[in-house]
Amino acid sequence: METKEKIQSDLLQFLSRQFFVDIEDIQIDKSLIDTGIIDSMGLIEIASYIKKTHGFVVSNEQMNRDNFGSVLKLVDFIYKTKS
């Protein structure tokens, strides 16, 4: 079973590469949209990353602030969905 730490590390690497931002500039407890790192299309790119990397499809209903509201929420969502 993949750890939350590994999921977070991989996700931060993806965000850094995909959205041209330094990992140090990503506030893991803040909204990626509110902090200007991604826009609504970025949500779709993250969902695609999750499908490719973690092997499950994110439904439109799951793409909400509870699951996609921050890096920490994304990590929890991925972890619990894979479990």
Q: How far is CA 7 from the centre of its chain?
A: 9
**What are the extents of the domains in the chain?**
4-82
For residue 65, give Cα distances in angstroms to 4, 29, 39: 19, 12, 13
Low pLDDT (below 50) residues in the chain: none
Residue 14: predicted pLDDT: 98
Which tokens is 48 given? Answer: 């695609």
Residue 1: predicted pLDDT: 76
Q: What is the pTM of this model?
A: 0.94
Q: Which residues contact 41 (CB under 8 A, 6 or more apart)?
A: none
Q: What fold is seen in the domain 4-82?
A: 1.10.1200
